Amino acid sequence: MKTVVIPGDFSVETMQVAQLFTRNAHEEFSIVFTHLFHVTDDIQDLLFSTYRKKEYDFVSEAFWRDCHILKDLYGNKLKSIKVEFFYGNKLAAFKNFLDAQNADFIAYSETFGIPKLCKSSLDALPVIKKAGIPLIDTDLLEEPAKAQEICF
């Protein structure tokens, strides 16, 4: 079973990336939605911050409902959906995060990009492009000839 990481802002556009990927997948897979946050250098922020709890507030009930609908529609190939946040400032740490998630692909939309959620969000697009695992631009999946070339 494969795992696709979908970086996003937990919006309708993020769900569209998941829907396009799911519709075009030919094997069983899992989805890990993520957002990338930098880690502060300030020791007081590290000691007294509860930022890791606050990030889950960005994932709305409507987004979770859409996840359940997607799972219900494509349960024969979509085996699980979860949200995991990345906290770090280095590409090596992000690669370790991908390894921990057993990521086989990263799906995103070049058109939509990956909007920031707050001031501690990383500019994710340059990071994912350097991650060293296959990228799937779901914008290309809407073109039938290219969809067959891209999806696993």
Spatial distance between the Cα atoms of 44 and 60, rounded to a whole number of angstroms: 29
DSSP state of 120: T
pLDDT digits (tens, 9 = 90+) for 12-37: 999 999 999 999 999 999 999 999 99
Helix or strand (DSSP H, E) at 31? strand 29-34
**2-150: CATH number:** 3.40.50.620
pLDDT digits (tens, 9 = 90+) for 95-144: 999 999 999 999 999 999 999 998 889 999 999 999 999 999 999 987 65
Residues in the chain: 152
The domain ranges of the chain are 2-150
Q: Is the pLDDT of residue 53 over 80?
A: no
Query: Lowest-confidence range among 41-50, 52-61, 140-149?
Result: 41-50
pTM across the whole model: 0.87
DSSP state of 134: -
Q: Can you say whether the dihedral through the CA atoms of 122, 90, 43, 49 is positive or negative? A: positive
Mean pLDDT of 74-97: 94
- Alpha-carbon distances, residue 18 vs 66, 78, 107, 113 (angstroms): 10, 10, 8, 14
Spatial distance between the Cα atoms of 70 and 120, rounded to a whole number of angstroms: 29
